[in-house]
């Protein structure tokens, strides 16, 4: 009997919520062989990253059963068998009817949380939370350390990356309308939020005497760089590609400026030098999250001190924590561009550190098998 997994996703904005949920659904289906039912409230957002998705729900696509729902209110449950495990992506609120089915079937219930390197996230990984209606929930905290919930990484990721060769890159560049690789030019991929910092950085780079090209993904990056409606000469607007092809772009660029959560993880898996445009939160709550990540990254990746300070100030400027004067900004960019191979080596070191650990879905499978397969037949509030 296949394990039946119910997965619920609310699209708050952009593509991160659905991007992570879709990856998770695919991994649970393809790697663990689970029967996955994914409820989405915005099929158009899913269709942007999975263009082959047909128009109307319900449907069965890529091995995953897709259904429509409205957070806290309604879920299309027609022809859906009861779950063994239910996952709420990013603390979305389940309708009462769904909660009752989970309780009645003693299914395991997980809240799959946003990724953070902060200590509290590690401390609360697999913490239980008993709800007033006796639904026992667990927190799944993805993370960067072996004792966290891990990161989503396909079993064949390393093989796929290794087999992506010069000819593949050549073809990809052609397909995306990008110039061929040239030795003296640094290709910077930019998938960020709207910010005036990108204009400022573009001017710094243009004056730097170093040859750079900016690959712009997503409208906010392009909007940030358009002047009187026109993009600078060395900027190339990329088409939005299917999620399945996204990694190839990251593998082809030299430096990655990524954002949110899913592209942030993919850049780390790619083992490329990166700057993270973190999703801004109210009252600058994102600053602690940003700092916690780099505090783990710098020493583990052994980023040389000089590069570390250059990277740190630019990261702070990108994320609104600091306004640099021209001299400091120019100096920081020169340092990073002039020591690209050392920066690249550190990124590889961080990649090795992550690849030395099991991925999120392997950890979930192990935890589910060892703790719950037998135990979850007992009433949920009596679980150990
Ligand atoms: O799109 P994001 O900014 O997403 C989010 C959401 O805003 C969310 O509400 C917030 O909580 C979260 O960030 C932290 O960034 P992210 O997470 O990087 O997701 C982008 C997804 O889009 C990722 O799965 C890759 C995919 N993508 C493509 O499939 N094709 C493309 O061409 C590009 C540029 C991205």
Domains and their CATH numbers in the chain: 4-152+359-373 (3.40.50), 157-355 (3.40.50.2000)
pLDDT at 381: 40
Confidence of residue 303 (pLDDT cuts 50, 70, 90): very high
Tokens representing 323? 């306004």
Q: Which long-range contacts (CB under 8 A, 24 or more apart) does 365-373 make?
A: 365/31, 365/32, 367/126, 368/3, 368/85, 368/108, 372/85, 372/108
pLDDT at 375: 54
Query: How far apart (Å, rounded) are the C-alpha atoms in residues 31 and 18?
Result: 19
Report which ligand 1 atom has the smallest distance to the Cα of 240. 32
Kindly tell me the number of DSSP H helices and DSSP E strands found in the chain: 15, 14
Return the H-helix or E-strand segment holding 123.
Answer: helix 119-124
Tokens representing 304? 């040389």
The residue among 149, 127, 198, 171 whose CA lies nearest residue 358 is 149
Catalytic positions are 17, 261
Mean pLDDT of 353-378: 85
Q: How many whole angstroms from 184 Cα to the centroid of ligand 1?
A: 30
pLDDT, tens digit, 9 for 90 and up, residues 322-337: 999 999 999 999 999 9
User: Residue with the nearest Cα to atom 8 of ligand 1?
Assistant: 16
Q: What is the best residue among 219, 240, 262 to mutate for testing ligand 1's pocket, by most ligand atoms within 8 Å of CB?
A: 262
171 burial level (CB within 10 Å; 0-12, 13-18, 19+): exposed
Cis status, amide bond into 28, omega within 30 of 0 = no
Confidence of residue 1 (pLDDT cuts 50, 70, 90): confident
User: Residue with the nearest Cα to atom 26 of ligand 1?
Assistant: 243
Mean pLDDT of 265-289: 96
- Whole-number average pLDDT of the chain: 95
Whole-prediction pTM: 0.96
Confidence of residue 371 (pLDDT cuts 50, 70, 90): confident
Mean pLDDT of 133-157: 97
User: Residue with the nearest Cα to atom 6 of ligand 1?
Assistant: 16
pLDDT of 214 above 80: yes
Mean pLDDT of 66-74: 97
pLDDT, tens digit, 9 for 90 and up, residues 229-270: 999 999 999 999 999 999 999 999 999 999 999 999 999 999
Q: Which residues contact 222 (CB under 8 A, 6 or more apart)?
A: 216, 231, 235, 237
Confidence of residue 321 (pLDDT cuts 50, 70, 90): confident
Instruction: Tell me if 119 sits within 8 A of 292, measured CB to CB.
Output: yes
Query: How far apart (Å, rounded) are the C-alpha atoms in residues 237 and 221?
Result: 9
pLDDT of 373 above 80: no
Residue 370, SS3?
helix
pLDDT at 377: 52
Q: How many whole angstroms from 13 Cα to the centroid of ligand 1?
A: 9
User: Residue with the nearest Cα to atom 4 of ligand 1?
Assistant: 16
pLDDT at 68: 98
Residues lining ligand 1, judged by CB closer than 6 Å? Answer: 12-17, 19, 49, 191, 217-218, 240-241, 243, 246, 259-264, 279
């Amino acid at each position: 009997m296949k394990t039946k997994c119910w997965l619920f996703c609310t699209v708050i904005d952009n593509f991160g919520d659905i991007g992570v949920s879709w990856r998770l659904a695919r991994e649970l289906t393809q790697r663990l062989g689970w029967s996955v039912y994914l409820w989405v409230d915005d099929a158009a957002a899913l269709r942007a990253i999975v263009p082959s998705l047909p128009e109307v729900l319900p449907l069965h696509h890529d091995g995953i059963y897709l259904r429509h729902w409205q957070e806290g209110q309604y879920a299309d449950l027609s022809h859906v068998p009861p779950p063994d495990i239910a996952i709420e992506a990013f603390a979305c609120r389940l309708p009462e009817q769904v909660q009752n089915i989970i309780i009645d079937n003693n299914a395991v219930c997980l809240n799959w949380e946003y990724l953070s390197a902060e200590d509290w996230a590690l401390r609360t990984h697999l913490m239980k939370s008993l709800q007033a209606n006796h639904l026992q929930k667990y927190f799944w905290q993805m993370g960067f350390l072996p004792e966290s919930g891990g990161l989503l990484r396909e079993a064949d990721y390393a093989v796929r990356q290794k087999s992506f060769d010069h000819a593949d890159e050549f073809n990809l560049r052609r397909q995306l309308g990008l110039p061929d690789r040239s030795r003296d030019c640094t290709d910077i991929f930019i998938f960020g939020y709207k910010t005036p910092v990108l204009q400022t950085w573009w001017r710094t780079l243009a004056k730097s005497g170093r040859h750079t090209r900016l690959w712009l993904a997503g409208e906010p990056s392009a909007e940030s760089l358009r002047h009187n409606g026109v993009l600078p000469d060395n900027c190339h607007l990329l088409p939005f590609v299917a999620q399945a092809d996204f990694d190839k772009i990251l593998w082809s660029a030299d430096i990655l400026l990524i954002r949110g959560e899913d592209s942030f993880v993919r850049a780390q898996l790619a083992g490329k030098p990166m700057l993270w445009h973190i999703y801004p939160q109210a009252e600058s709550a994102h600053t602690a999250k940003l700092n916690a990540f780099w505090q783990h990254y710098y020493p583990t990746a052994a980023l040389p001190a000089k590069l570390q300070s250059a990277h740190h100030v630019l990261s702070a400027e990108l994320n609104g924590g600091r306004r640099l004067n021209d001299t400091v900004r120019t100096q920081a960019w020169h340092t990073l561009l002039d020591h690209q191979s050392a920066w690249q080596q550190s990124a590889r070191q961080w990649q090795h550190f992550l690849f030395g650990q099991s991925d999120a879905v392997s950890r979930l499978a192990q935890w589910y098998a060892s703790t719950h397969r037998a135990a979850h037949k007992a009433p949920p509030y009596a679980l150990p």
